Amino acid sequence: MMRRKKRTAGSVLFSILRCAPVAAAACVAVGPVVFLVTGSLMGRGELGEYLAPVLFGTEGFVTWRFLPMYPTFQNIVELLCDSPEFFYMFWNTMRITAGILVGQLLCGMPAAWGLARYPFRGNRAVYGLYILLMLMPFQALMLPEYLVLEKLSLNNTLWAVILPGIFSTFPVFLMYRFFTEVPEEILEAARIDGAGEGRVFLYIGLPLGRTGIVSALLLQFLECFGMIEQPLAFLKDQTLFPLALYLPEIGAERAGFAFAASLVALAVPLLLFFAGSEYLEQGIAASALKG
Amino acid sequence: MKKKYAGIVFVLPHLLGVLLFLFLPFLDVVRRSFAQAAGGFAGLSNYGEVLHNEAFRLAAGNTIRFTAVCLPLLMLLSLLLALALYGIGSGEAALKNSLLIPMAIPAACVALLWQLLFDNHGMINGMLSAFGVAPVSWMSTDASFYVLVGSYLWKNAGYVTVLWVAALDGIPGEVYEAARMDGAGKMASLFFITLPCIRPAAFTIGVISFLNTFKVFREAYLVAGSYPQERIYLISHLFNNWFLSLSVDKMAAGAVLLSVVTGAAVYALQRAWEE
């Protein structure tokens, strides 16, 4: 960066003034994770004491300690050894998420490539349709989706959540943005060397559009993992429910268990978030700015 | 594969799915919105029924109010954060990541925490009482509106900040350099370079933030259920409840109205921006 200057007392003060609000916002953003971690390490007795005003309506307010007085793995053990339903719902969530992501890779990715690189007849119309659908909130599409799923008798199966998810157009749009940036000369060179269109896509488009693909999948993963509206509308059978519908059912009486369950559920998206944060950021930036 | 057909072959599988699962069913719903439940043409009577529906008016009003408060607030707050964050030095990446974390946290994981925060005996009231402020019944009075606003800001501020930072990144350093040579101060650079330069990005950022306002339903539903306090009964709650009672003709008209209003809002924003 060119803007680095010599440090004076004034500039140090300025940078503190500047950092403080950002740091405060960062603490608010991260706070809930810290809560879940400490909460899941607290025993029933300790939590009961802090949460008594909410649980039993005693005087005073809920208090909290960010270091448990008597840390214990009781909740984690209970979760891992004694609650098959948690894993059942976890498995449902993973099946839904994996189904949507695989579908996006197999159908959405080639579609983004086709729209980005081939000016066939109707290309702009399809692109316009995709943008339009991307802007529609789920609530506007809920009834249409429900009716078609009913006709195909897919309601109350995981496919009812997976199939419309595969055809959500946002990931296609995001990958499109990155695919348009691949220089045409490279593709031409490959074609002259005798590569067919399929090969051009697999060996040039995919590697060069990697950032877009990874960031689209990552954003889609985070979206699917926390899905509430779709399963709520299309699934009736409780055994099909994803984790996101099960966690809030646990209730404050079993707060320690609920914290542990939330923490384990959170661990998956959080790990992916950190593993892919660089891609994520580029994807977010590309979704809003002209490339 | 010939180049002439390649594009269509690439697009076709996904496009067929989109047509089958989203677009054609949507057209069917448009048709239904003009039909009677028993069959036959109903004209605009379904629309009339929806627009006169008490619950619809409540939900639409709440949703509009929520959007009108949240959108400007979110965009301003995150712009300030982005301005502070941009070029902050070594900590920039770590701070950005921390701000983004709420994106990765499923609403379900914080549902219990929200309850513990906003209960009458919850932590927020605990903090307020430490400053001598009387406790607020967050979930059973109009104060619930602020719970929703807070959730929305918490969830989206980081995302939008990263968007603004990306926009700031796009401004070439030389422009600032030249302005400084001409004697422009920090404030002048901000108002005459930074803000005009990020104006185009503001439109897309606005659209993305607008679309995310619908997702606040997740937090609202998990904390307060299908029938929350009156002030935070949003369009999403209403649709969900109509859906459960299978009021198909009302829902059809409602879905068409919602998509027309959404489309019109985005279009109007775009026109206003281009002028």
Residue in chain A closest to B199 (alpha carbons) equals: A289
Cα torsion B66, A19, B204, A288 to 10°: value is -130
**Domain membership of residue A151 as a residue range:** 92-250+264-288
Residue B56 lies in a domain: no
CA B115 to chain centre: 22
Residue A269 lies in a domain: yes
- Tell me if chain B has a CB within 8 Å of the CB of A118: yes
The count of CB pairs under 8 A between chains A and B is 305
Residue A171 lies in a domain: yes
Which residues of chain A are within 8 Å of residue B21 when distances are taken between CB atoms?
Answer: 145, 148, 163-164, 167
C-alpha B130/C-alpha B92 separation (Å) is 34
The answer to whether the CB of A89 falls within 8 A of the CB of A201 is: no
Query: Using the beta-carbon criterion (under 8 Å), do B108 and A262 form an inter-chain contact?
Result: yes
C-alpha A141/C-alpha A228 separation (Å) is 15
Residue A104 lies in a domain: yes
pLDDT under 50 in chain A at which residues?
A: 1-2, 291
- Tell me if chain A has a CB within 8 Å of the CB of B243: yes
Residue B264 lies in a domain: no
What sign results for the dihedral spanned by CA atoms A219, A224, A228, A233? positive
Q: In chain B, which among 141-170 make CB contacts under 8 A with chain A?
A: 154, 157-159, 162-163, 166-167, 169-170
ipTM of the complex: 0.86
* Residues whose CB is less than 8 angstroms from the CB of residue B274 and which lie 6 or more positions away in sequence, other chains included: none
Residue B74 lies in a domain: yes
Q: What amino acid occupies position A233? A: A
Residue A195 lies in a domain: yes
Residue B12 lies in a domain: no
Residue A17 lies in a domain: no
Instruction: Give the count of beta carbons closer than 10 Å to the beta carbon of residue A57.
Output: 10
The total domain count for chain A is 1
C-alpha A137/C-alpha B170 separation (Å) is 30
Instruction: Give the count of beta carbons closer than 10 Å to the beta carbon of residue A254.
Output: 16
Which residues of chain A are within 8 Å of residue B131 when distances are taken between CB atoms?
Answer: none
- Residue B1's pLDDT is 59
The total domain count for chain B is 1
- Residue B124's pLDDT is 86
Per-residue pLDDT of chain B (275 residues; tens, 9 = 90+): 567 788 899 999 999 999 999 999 999 889 888 887 667 777 788 888 888 888 899 999 999 999 999 999 999 999 999 998 887 777 788 888 899 999 899 888 888 888 888 888 888 888 888 888 888 888 888 888 998 999 999 999 998 998 898 888 888 888 888 888 888 888 888 888 888 888 888 888 888 888 888 888 888 888 888 888 888 898 889 988 888 887 888 888 989 999 999 888 888 878 877 76
**Domain membership of residue B85 as a residue range:** 63-249
Query: Using the beta-carbon criterion (under 8 Å), do B11 and A115 form an inter-chain contact?
Result: yes
C-alpha B109/C-alpha A250 separation (Å) is 11
Residue A198 lies in a domain: yes
A211: nearest Cα among A180, A186, A184, A178: A178
CATH number at residue B161: 1.10.3720.10
Residue B13 lies in a domain: no
